[in-house]
Structure 1
């Protein structure tokens, strides 16, 4: 600029905005949270009338610790569902809840007692339960604050809690419905048992870890029904639980398996053994027998096996007091295979499900040798008092003691160690055992006469029909997973031998057997009294002296009945939440059914599962219309997170460094249907995406400064470029709504992000900067561009608001200040259908393709430092296709390419022309722009310097007036 040329910098419309480039999210997000609290955003939305409800029912987290990254993933997904459904016109309700009863909390209180030298059993049970309640209350407050910090909306001031008096009353009432419909029964059968926690566990409370077990091959002598060559033979069994041998009551064989009689001749000894042919070589190799010492004598049929009677390996053992002096039958069992072992299965009906089924089928006696703490009963000969699992979760002496006794008896054929997947408690992490114990069950195949047979007469049939007919699964694989689990599952074990929970509110008749008709007291008036007492005083009242007399008085003689003190499986608690959180609350679901349950894939065996069983028993169908499942969180290398590995990512750490919106954006950018990875490098990438998106919003705000309705231009009066942007908005409107409706947050974000970075930043904004900065305020082209920027603002802020709750609120308030203003009080705007213009879009696809060749040619010149900016160029573009050439001539192609001039020709492209292989028929020859540089817009034009205002082009001269 020469000394006498005016400074035109103040005459251009440079972007003006207070929206900072640096977000400062960790510091600023709490202010927005406080603002939403003041505004009462959630309650204001509920006050909107005439909307169709959408209810996402919260799967209750457990109130016993700080949140981990899996919690954050889950709650953010729920929040994105609720917010997007609300902004699409629904009344999207979200009542957060907490699971408050159960072993983890009880365990913590027991630990505190032990640290003080106290014994839980010496403490009044009501006092103990109140300690548990206080513990849960403390963690609920902590977790509520942590969830809210993630930007999650909901009825935080009135959540549902399974320990609220009303909830406890409803849980008890739901249990009593099973009592009344005849599906509740007491049975003595093997259940998964934790010796450490001294209670039965549900399938959902079991996890599998590698464990090294003893394995033994054991001789069971034939004592009856044999031929000459089998009379003194031994049937060989294999087991990885030597401690169960004292409980053996039979040996099972597979009727379809090929068995042989083998003669063994090591060291001049002779022994006949029976074993499955397919496993014989493995078995004998384990016993270190060479092939020379093994001789197969003949086939042994299933009919012959069924005639044999065996002796227990401990029969007539010194000191056994006759404990094992009984015949052991050899029985056909469909569960026996020749995949591993010997083809013969040692059967202890008290310690395995297959074994128990064999016991039922053949009326085998049950044993009660194992105590709640995992030790043998004190009176058991040879092994009394020995532990299978010690109180600290380590292996007790029972296995080794049995192996030694087998060896001394000559019953041990071989032994070894096996590393395999083994059930553990997901709380104590200690190994579990199958243990026979009286428990309360719900029969899931029993015919129910309750008037709710639309989807079946049994709980199982109702559940399977619900899965197939009533529920939409996201992803669809969730259907198969739950279906297979329900299809194969046994009866539901409801009882736990603990103190902190809702008791099994039932009474049994003294002296009656579980099979007797009058064993359980079934009285509606008694049930009503129990429910009313729980409603007023909570479940603690069950444990107050005299409660039995209080509820039974005047109905039956209290002395005739015994009160049950087991507590309900906490999965029954959470499975019942639909009743008090959906059915009973004013802000629940009108029909008591949730539109969506959303949890991790582990909940197919947990909350989805228990809710299905519970609801099918009391409502006759699933409590949900839709189920969404997400994967687990892993570190950047795909490893499971653990404190011991030091690879955990805590939500609070991410928020402290980046802000909650970055964590939310990580969720949106991830495919939640599989396991999700997170770590420092991944979060850096997320933060980079965020910055690019923030740049887009900042450009919008800066160039909309001072925009008023008087500037607005109708779409019909806009240039084609603006109408193409409107077409893209119309396309996106359908895609965004469809994506949100399908809970495809990754798809929604990818489409919006690509639009912002590719269509807007790299094309539309780049092209229209010149017009926005340099055209006169009244210029129709600039007004049209500003109108489109306003329409972009209205849509992008709202479309992205369910994901980036804090940032879009900040963007919104920049243009919509006011105490009552919030983007979260708005809906997605309607987008006119006539914005869609496929014909125009096809034309502009060709224009953009040709533009890529021009920008590529200019980049070559810029890299070679021939030019510094594209405005120094006025290239010649050779176009072979007449339709594309006509399209380019119909628009201001030089402006689109951000050059000062451009020549379009149908002449064949010369040899030196720049081409792109993927764009045939377009060649670009570089030419410099002729003329002088305009001091205001920087275009190089021949007319610069010939106008009233020195150093300007005609357009800028006119803009200056």
Structure 2
């Protein structure tokens, strides 16, 4: 028997140098270096010049520390937006930026001082700010390289920084617009205050954590009331902030709450909400029955005495006859005054008598009962103690009744020395946020217990409490003089109004307020996802006035001169111009006492004005970025307003909101037309990432192990609009998904080896399968366009992956590999297939380019070494192709059933491949127009026949196998011989050899 010929050299197998193994960590830096040397960003800008503009304005990350996984997700999403808009042919520039001022940087520089045992306050402010500036610049440079490594394409050589002199000057100019239009005022209100950082905080700088606090019930003796039964009784308040009791000034009741008076076994009677009687009984109340009940509104005119009054009046040394006496319960102690530390025998270091007595009069003053609509019966006693120094509701209610803050808690959270209660050593050494201060044996509770006013104290109350976003320390409400932007004052504006603002004004017949125009803009702006509208809307609707001032050094100053006589700040366009230009020339250091007279000019005397030394809330800095980035002209490709802002969902209370308020106050509309928000990245088990838990994922290390394209693919496959996860197993799954996409490109490159235009066929000349795949491509194209318009990148990548894996690799490529390998090069069917592959290549490499930025560049260069960058290309033109998609979907369903029927024979090794299986299918399942040979090609099987039965039947074929294409056909005379097609192709090749 003659030896059989080896036909493998006659088979047209795919040829490509494109490797199966990606090696992304090694390849990506080289591609990145080439992009920089060839200035790809500038190439793209030039290619899109004059086109429709799309501007995503970059929210500034903070210049403090390495890039984390949240940075990576955020910037990949931004890059995806910019690249897909660019792919659609738009001019979509991207200018990155950084937030450089503020407490976190100042805190880090102070840490360096503390390590050297130096006091920051002893360093000249200009020198300290220079160190802050250098620190910020260092991290800008680090983060810039890390973000570039992710493949983010942008104007990295010319980013914006809030600490650039031009930026600082524009921030000052924006502030002065507020001042000119009367949108600033200085007032004393309780604000979120960090005793650790010694500054006011904005809502956006506060996060809430669960803590366990001391809860106490305190008795206030009622000394007067229109209800006779109440005189001599005790009203009971409940609080989790014992430290605020020293500045209590009133008690609040709910007008519609039913209150009961209960006789206690200790002989006293106590007033509290009837609905809370059982709760209070669990803590301390052992009552002997209800005496009477009244609704809150009947308590009007009732007056109590501060529980510490008698304690202070009757404990200590000496006597002050000018203070009123007490005949009530608890007044039986020796007369006298408590003054300072126990050993304070002289006046040295002790408060003066006059000031001391004035403060003691504070405790002698009556504590009125006031109606509080905020009072509830959810917990506590239904009566709320009011401390206007330390609560928003407290402040408003007390101010309306002539009760003003006392300002007794200092910036570090300690009570001031000249206050009559708590100046002793054991209390003075503690901040009010210290648990020891508020403990049942702490100074407040101990004194209340000694005064007979502490009814219960326990350390088991778990609740959510505000903490500083940066220092992680607890914050307090503290009443201090600050600069505010009013939310509800009509704006007297001298600038054109936007349509929304005009509508509000015409409807109301008056100037609008900042809250009104902001709410109108929230209604107009597009939010993705839609729930973002309600989130930011509820925050703006209920937010207090904007606290602009901070008591720190590193930031943009509040550049106001305040008249020392009138208290009004100076509004003079000429002075404002000098201030702005000085900052533009020298930066924030221009705002100094030395420059004050020069800034004021000849019209005003510096000694007549107070130069404000507070700095601006950094959210005002970032909220002004639209002004110095989009409007400055420094980046002429940009425009105002931005088409899109994109950040994490926490920025509804941060950058989205500060930008909205700043722009609405100065321009009458939002600086953006759409807002896209993403959730937070959690660990693989759904827990919040924490260094202490060791469950963080470092994107830099992920790039070292997998490559940047894997991070990008992960970021664009998760549902980023919700909180999402990352971890080793998740990344392994993403890497597997990447390999499948890479292999699709590898197959296309190999299958298209040698393809040229002479081989191309028109759509009308193609078989139905090719027309069907082109029709699928058209549907796929439409899906991607919709996903881009919706910023739905999860759908975009999922559709890309499914099309490549299911429609192409598992179906089209699988069926047509026989034609590719074995048909003659000039065969019309093979040419049609390769024509479609070429169309698919040009489409897929563009579709995937915004996702796999490095891989697609490698793919493009592999086929077109001199073809430039794939990222300059535009969205592909997809040929229109008509096909009966429903019919082909029916055939694909039949194909899956046939594959399932063959599988048992493969497992039992009756057949080694589907080509060896002979199939009988129900005739009723086969659409018209398809021959048995067509079906065999579709099923990649041996002979196919049609039967009358309802089931698919499979058996091993009795035909012999072609030695070249391995198909089992009746025409093959013996195993290893050639079928008619292969015989013809081989003969032609032999003739040309």
Shorter-chain TM-score category?
over 0.9
Encode CA deviations 1:720-751: one digit per residue, 9 max, x unaligned: 11111100011011111111121111101111
Q: How does 1:739-818 map to 2 (within 5 A)?
A: 739-818=787-866
Cα-to-partner distance string for 1:108-166 (whole Å, 9 max, x where unaligned)? 11111111121111111001000000000000010001101111111111000000000
Is residue 209–residue 422 contact of structure 1 (8 Å, CA) maintained in 2? yes
Q: Is the 8 A contact 1:55 1:588 kept in 2?
A: no
Which residue number in structure 1 is paired with residue 892 of structure 2? 848
Q: Go from structure 1 to structure 2 and tell me whether the alpha carbon gap of 1:775 and 1:195 turns closer, same or farther (over 3 Å shift).
A: same
Cα deviation 1:485-536 (Å, max 9, x = unaligned)? 00000000000000000000101011334xxxxx110111111001111111
Q: Residue 876 of structure 1 contacts residue 927 of structure 1 at CA under 8 Å; is this kept in 2?
A: no
Matched, 1:491 2:530: no
Is 1:538 aligned with 2:598?
A: no
Q: C-alpha displacement at 1:74, in angstroms?
A: 0.5
Aligned match of 2:308 in 302, 314, 336? 314
CA distance in 2 between partners of 1:652 and 1:303 (Å): 63
Maintained 8 Å contact 1:724/1:841: yes
Q: 1:762 to 1:521 in 2, by over 3 A?
A: same
Alpha carbons 1:252, 1:344 under 8 Å: kept: yes
Q: Check the 8 A contact 2:78/2:646 in 1, yes or no.
A: yes
Residues in 1 aligned to 2:283 and 2:131: alpha-carbon distance in whole angstroms: 54
Per the alignment, do residues 800 and 590 of structure 1 end up closer, same or farther by CA in structure 2, a change over 3 Å counting?
A: closer
Do the aligned residues in 2 keep the contact of 1:194 with 1:200 (CA within 8 Å)? yes
Relative to 1, partners in 2 of residues 1:929 and 1:361: Cα closer, same or farther, differing over 3 Å? farther
Residues 303 and 22 (structure 1 numbering): CA distance in 2 closer, same or farther, change over 3 Å?
Answer: closer
Higher deviation after alignment, 565-574 or 9-18: 9-18
Tell me what 1:449 maps to.
492
- The residue that corresponds to 2:4 in the other structure is 5
- 1:895 alignment partner in structure 2: 937
* Counterpart check, 1:429 vs 2:472: yes
Which of these residues, 937, 953, 960, is aligned with residue 979 of structure 2?
A: 953
TM superposition shift of 1:396: 5.2
- Count of equivalent residues: 925
The superposition leaves residues 209-259 of structure 1 with CA deviations (integer Å, 9 ceiling, x where unpaired) of: 122221111111111235442211111111111111111111110101001
Compute the RMSD of aligned alpha carbons: 1.8
Give the conservation status (yes or no) of the 8 Å contact 1:211–1:422.
yes
| Paired residues of 2:417 and 2:428 also in contact (CA < 8 A) | no
Length-normalised TM-score, structure 2? 0.91
Are the counterparts in 2 of residues 719 and 781 from structure 1 also a CA contact under 8 Å?
yes
The worse-fitting range, judged by mean Cα deviation, of 61-70 and 42-51 is 42-51
Offset of 1:550 from its aligned partner? 0.8
SS of corresponding position for 1:957: helix
Q: Deviations over 1:26-66 (max 9, x none)?
A: 11111111111122111111113231111111110000100
Aligned ranges 1:705-744 → 2 under 5 Å? 705-744=753-792
Match of 1:374 among 413, 419, 439: 413
User: What's the CA shift string for 1:412-452, capped at 9, x where partnerless?
Assistant: 12212212111110111111111110000000111111144
Partner deviation per Cα, 1:340-368 (whole Å, 9 max, x = no partner): 11111100111100001102221212111
Indicate the residue corresponding to 1:408 in structure 2: 450
Q: Describe how 1:184-333 pairs up with structure 2 within 5 A.
A: 184-264=184-264, 266=265, 269-287=266-284, 289=286, 293-316=287-310, 317=312, 318=315, 319-320=337-338, 321=357, 322-323=360-361, 324-333=363-372
Tell me which of 913, 916, 927 is aligned to 1:872.
916
Say if 1:649 and 1:152 are closer, same or farther in 2 by CA, change over 3 A.
same
Q: Whole-Å Cα distance in 2 between the matches of residues 381 and 506 of structure 1?
A: 36
Evaluate the alpha carbon distance shift between residue 345 and residue 714 of structure 1 in structure 2; reply closer, same or farther with a 3 A threshold. same
Which string of whole-angstrom CA distances, capped at 9 and with x for unpartnered residues, describes residues 443-469 of structure 1? 011111114444242111111000002
Q: Find the aligned partners of 1:590 and 1:688 in 2 and give their Cα distance.
A: 39
Unaligned 5+ residue runs, structure 2? 316-336, 339-356, 505-511, 989-993
Structure-2 separation of matches of 1:50 and 1:564: 46
What SS class does the counterpart of residue 938 from structure 1 fall into?
A: coil
1:925 positional shift: 4.0
- Partner-residue secondary structure (3-state), 1:753: helix
Q: 1:230 to 1:77 in 2, by over 3 A?
A: same
* Alpha-carbon separation, structure 1, partners of 2:193 and 2:686: 32
Residue in 2 that maps onto 1:420: 463
1:473 counterpart = 2:527:
yes
Gaps of 5+ in 1: 514-518, 910-920
Out of 423, 444, 456, the residue aligned to residue 384 of structure 1 is 423
Q: Could you say if the C-alpha distance between residues 394 and 15 of structure 1 is closer, same or farther in structure 2, counting changes exceeding 3 Å?
A: farther
What is the DSSP-based 3-state SS (H/G/I as helix, E as strand, rest coil) of the residue aligned with 1:420?
Answer: strand
Report how far residue 951 of structure 1 moved. 2.5
Equivalent pair of 1:389/1:395 in contact (CA under 8 Å): no
In 2: Cα distance, 1:228 partner to 1:395 partner: 40
Q: Matches of 2:296 and 2:650 in 1, distance apart? A: 42
Q: Using a 3 Å threshold, how does the CA distance of structure 1 residues 944 and 390 change in structure 2: closer, same or farther?
A: farther
- Determine helix, strand or coil for the equivalent of 1:445: coil
Structure 1: how far apart are the matches of 2:798 and 2:227?
76
CA contact (8 A) 2:957 2:968 kept: no
Superposed displacement of residue 88, structure 1: 0.8
1:880 is displaced (CA, Å) by: 2.2
Kindly state the Cα deviation for residue 923 of structure 1 after the two structures are TM-superposed.
2.5
Counterpart position of 1:334: 373
The CA distance in 2 between the partners of 1:527 and 1:101, in whole Å, is 22
C-alpha spacing 1:489/1:173, structure 2 compared with 1 (3 Å): same
Q: 1:389 Cα shift?
A: 9.4
Change (3 A) 1:570 1:480: same
Moved more, 219-228 or 484-493: 219-228
Distance change (3 Å), C-alpha of 1:273 and 1:382: same
Q: CA deviation at 1:758?
A: 1.0
Listed as ranges, the matches of 1:283-682 within 5 Å are: 283-287=280-284, 289=286, 293-316=287-310, 317=312, 318=315, 319-320=337-338, 321=357, 322-323=360-361, 324-384=363-423, 394-395=434-435, 397=437, 400-417=442-459, 418-450=461-493, 451-454=495-498, 455=501, 456=504, 457-469=512-524, 471-513=525-567, 519-543=568-592, 545-587=593-635, 591-682=639-730
Aligned-pair CA distance for 1:892: 1.6
Q: 1:303 to 1:644 in 2, by over 3 A?
A: closer
From the superposition, tell whether residues 390 and 411 of structure 1 become closer, same or farther in structure 2 (CA, over 3 Å): closer
Residue in 2 aligned with 1:30?
29
Give the distance between the partners of 1:167 and 1:703, measured in 2 at CA. Answer: 54
**Secondary structure, aligned partner of 2:179:** helix
Q: For 1:129 and 1:795, locate their aligned partners in 2 and report how far apart those are by CA, in whole Å.
A: 53
> Does the 8 A contact of 2:193 with 2:476 survive in 1?
yes
Distance in 1 between residues matched to 2:961 and 2:227, nearest whole Å: 114
Q: Distance in 1 between matches of 2:817 and 2:289?
A: 93
With the length of structure 1 as denominator, give the TM-score of the two structures: 0.94
- Greater CA drift, 44-53 or 613-622: 44-53
- 8 Å contact 1:880–1:922 — kept in the other structure? no
Task: Say whether the 8 Å CA contact 1:72–1:147 is kept in structure 2.
Answer: yes
